[in-house]
Amino acid sequence: MRNLLLVPVLLVLAACGAAGGEDVVIGAAGPIQKPNGRSMRLAVEMAVAEINDAGGISGRKLRIEWGDDDANEGKAIEVAQALRASGAVAVVGHVNSGASLKAAEIYNAVGNDSIPGDPVVAVSPASSSPELTKAGPWTFRVTPTDLEFAPRLADWARRMGSRRAAVLYVNDAYGQGVREGFQESFRRGGGTVVTSDPYLPAVYERDETLDPFLRRALGRGADALVIGGQAAEGLKIVRAARRLGYTGPILGSDGLTGLKDAGGDAEGVFVSTAFLPDRPSPKTKKFVEEYQRRYRELPDHRGAMAYDIVYLLKDAIQRDGADREAIRRYLDSVGRDGGVPPFEGVSGTIRFDENGDVRGKEVGIGVIRGGRLVTARQ
């Protein structure tokens, strides 16, 4: 495995790959040097190695062009521009919702002289913002949206007896999606949202700066704490809440998956996700075992779904060739009437609707136990 810690902000290889009749080139874009991009990067490398070891795609090797967007919307635009102008026939990514939304403007642009190259398909493994639904015909995702994740959290909170929830969410497309989805579902089920506060991770660098939000929530009788954000800031909220004496359930959407690596502080946190490593599927079990053998760690949802995307693109290229429009048409038909059958992946069944959103993907609740995210049971 290459040491991608040495990869600069953007690595774009020669554009002649797919067009030259040798390697088939696909892009992979995300925060590849950050914790929330690690599993995606490793899983993509694993899938590509497996495909190439088995003979490639119709005898042609598969090669990756990496674009590091650093989970930054501005850098995501730069990455998308470079990948669109390159020989990549499709893109795996981006990971963060904000980055995917900005990149989608580039991948979907038609007839724009300022953006070289033809439109190119991008398939996100983890961008769950509902806003991405209308991004354009070249944008797909294999993760459910926050309209599915957040209601699952609301249902779980109610099943645990919670009736008064406090919500803390990062003020971006992802956090806003979690907040909106949870609040609507929780209230519809008879619950009350006692506080709903946005925060900026760069501002709240110390646990204590979150205290005013949490004290107000506790003063209003919050018996569930919901976090809409990523693991790094989520851990600060968890620690601050426990320090202030909160003993109730803490819940969050899939962005909190990385809390499993935070040690005892994150024990018992519930996470809604479209993939759990203990998923009872032979294909999933084989994937998890091989991933562990290679990397000595468990994959998360970003890795499992990125792995599925690579194999889905392989099927498209194998059948219809390494052509951007042909790949888009293939994906658009997956699981649809008159199209190709649903794709059975390690993360579950993939079928797309008319907007490129995955339909009917299972959403489970995991709980952090002993440094692992496992299926939660009541």
Determine contact, residues 308/347, Cβ cutoff 8 Å.
yes
CA dist 106 to 10, 13, 180, 280, Å?
16, 19, 27, 38
- DSSP, collapsed to helix, strand or coil, labels residue 95 as coil
Given 246, 273, 300, which residue is the final one in a domain? 273
Distance between CA atoms of 96 and 129, rounded to whole angstroms?
9
CB atoms within 10 A of CB 316: 26
Give the CATH number, domain containing residue 304.
3.40.50.2300
Q: Report the pLDDT value the prediction gives residue 117, as an integer from 0 to 100.
A: 87
In terms of domains, do 17 and 136 share one?
A: yes
Determine contact, residues 43/291, Cβ cutoff 8 Å.
yes
| Dihedral angle sign, alpha carbons of residues 119, 352, 65, 34 | positive
Name the maximum alpha-carbon separation found in the chain: 66
For the stretch 277-294, pLDDT in tens is 999 999 999 999 999 999
Determine contact, residues 156/376, Cβ cutoff 8 Å.
yes
In terms of domains, do 138 and 10 share one?
A: yes
Closest by Cα among 34, 33, 36, 35 to 2: 33
Task: Show the 3-state SS of 328-359.
Answer: HHHHHHCCCCCCCCCEEECCEEECECCCCCEC
In terms of domains, do 18 and 113 share one?
A: yes
Determine contact, residues 159/151, Cβ cutoff 8 Å.
no
Structure tokens at 183: 């609040």
In terms of domains, do 154 and 266 share one?
A: yes
The answer to the question of residue 131 being in a domain is yes
Determine contact, residues 229/256, Cβ cutoff 8 Å.
yes
In terms of domains, do 59 and 153 share one?
A: no
Given 244, 273, 302, which residue is the final one in a domain? 273
Determine contact, residues 214/185, Cβ cutoff 8 Å.
no
- The average confidence (pLDDT) of the chain is 91
CA dist 172 to 49, 52, 331, 346, Å?
35, 38, 28, 29
In terms of domains, do 104 and 46 share one?
A: yes
Residue 250 identity (one-letter amino acid): I
Given 237, 252, 273, which residue is the final one in a domain? 273
In terms of domains, do 8 and 140 share one?
A: yes
Q: Please, how many CA atoms are within 13 Å of residue 289, restricted to the half-sphere of its CB?
A: 7
Q: Which residue has the tokens 């070289």?
A: 116
Distance between CA atoms of 80 and 347, rounded to whole angstroms?
26
The answer to the question of residue 51 being in a domain is yes
The answer to the question of residue 261 being in a domain is yes
What pTM, to 2 d.p., does this model score? Answer: 0.89
Query: What number of residues does the chain have?
Result: 378
Q: Report the pLDDT value the prediction gives residue 17, as an integer from 0 to 100.
A: 37
Distance between CA atoms of 180 and 175, rounded to whole angstroms?
9
In terms of domains, do 155 and 259 share one?
A: yes
66: CB partners within 8 A, 6+ apart: 4, 7, 11, 27, 28, 29, 32, 41
Per-residue pLDDT of the chain (378 residues; tens, 9 = 90+): 333 333 443 443 333 334 445 899 999 999 999 999 999 999 999 999 999 999 999 999 999 999 999 999 999 999 999 999 999 999 999 999 999 999 999 999 987 778 888 999 999 999 999 999 999 999 999 999 999 999 999 999 999 999 999 999 999 888 999 999 999 999 999 999 999 999 877 655 555 788 999 999 999 999 999 999 999 889 999 999 999 999 999 999 999 999 999 989 999 999 999 999 999 999 999 999 999 999 999 999 999 999 999 999 999 999 999 999 999 999 999 999 999 999 999 999 999 999 999 999 989 999 999 999 999 987
The answer to the question of residue 360 being in a domain is no
In terms of domains, do 152 and 124 share one?
A: no
Q: Report the pLDDT value the prediction gives residue 367, as an integer from 0 to 100.
A: 97
The answer to the question of residue 224 being in a domain is yes
The answer to the question of residue 235 being in a domain is yes
CB atoms within 10 A of CB 48: 20
The answer to the question of residue 375 being in a domain is no
Distance between CA atoms of 116 and 274, rounded to whole angstroms?
35
In the chain, how many domains are there? Answer: 2
Distance between CA atoms of 352 and 357, rounded to whole angstroms?
5
In terms of domains, do 267 and 303 share one?
A: no
The answer to the question of residue 362 being in a domain is no
In terms of domains, do 133 and 96 share one?
A: yes
Q: What is the DSSP string of 100-123?
A: HHHHHHHHH--S-TTS-S----EE
Q: Report the pLDDT value the prediction gives residue 22, as an integer from 0 to 100.
A: 87
What range does the domain containing 207 cover?
146-273
In terms of domains, do 139 and 285 share one?
A: yes
